[in-house]
Amino acid sequence: ETGVTQTPRHLVMGMTNKKSLKCEQHLGHNAMYWYKQSAKKPLELMFVYNFKEQTENNSVPSRFSPECPNSSHLFLHLHTLQPEDSALYLCASSIWEGQPQHFGDGTRLSIL
Amino acid sequence: SQQGEEDPQALSIQEGENATMNCSYKTSINNLQWYRQNSGRGLVHLILIRSNEREKHSGRLRVTLDTSKKSSSLLITASRAADTASYFCATEGGSGGSNYKLTFGKGTLLTVNP
């Protein structure tokens, strides 16, 4: 139990579908992150939210749309994805930016 | 761009032996962190060492940092089968852009055989 919960754990979707990934933390943290983990590549930072404000968009394609309604919840809205978007998507949180991060167990996304 | 790079890519040892993993990076940093990832799970933070520190201990873990060589090492003593996982170093700050951004390496896969 890491304190960061991601749902769903697995998702299979077609290229024309729209789906959302959810991340929830009740650790009292103020910063939340989305990462993409692909086989044989380093973990890639996608987005950072600090006190609900986006502070980093690491040149992520617009087919990925993040939403942070409050400090405890983070969403990643997906639409018109490509096969190369298949990966493990990890959410993390920290008390604030720069502090050690707590990760969820990820959503394994497969694009058909 | 990749900052931390772990070496070796894979390491296989017997239970009870020590395991050493290395990390090299390219630009100045604020701190360096080590994380562990078990198969199918998220990353777990192990230890953080600041740029003005040279060595840090946590239980069976020992981390060193040499800023002149831009390198760090993670030593796990008296390894156990449960230590089998991928280990990642992550550097924070110093390379432009967001000063708090963590940049991860590709990791070292450690296998501890019973």
Question: Are A42 and B105 inside 8 Å of each other by CB?
Answer: yes
pLDDT digits (tens, 9 = 90+) for B42-83: 999 999 999 999 999 999 999 999 999 999 999 999 999 999
Contact A50, A8 (CB under 8 A): no
**Rounded to 5 degrees, what are φ and ψ at B47?**
-165, 150
Q: What is the reported pLDDT for A58?
A: 85
Q: Which of A109, A96, A95 is nearest to A37 (CA)?
A: A109
Region of residue A2 (left: phi > 0; alpha: psi -120 to 50; beta: else)? alpha
Burial group, residue A24, by CB count within 10 angstroms (0-12, 13-18, 19+):
middle
Contacts with B, A 41-80, CB within 8 Å: 41-43, 45, 48, 55-56
Contact B63, B72 (CB under 8 A): yes
pLDDT digits (tens, 9 = 90+) for A49-89: 998 889 888 889 999 999 999 999 999 999 999 999 999 99
Q: What is the reported pLDDT for A23?
A: 98
Determine contact: B49 vs chain A, CB below 8 A.
Answer: no
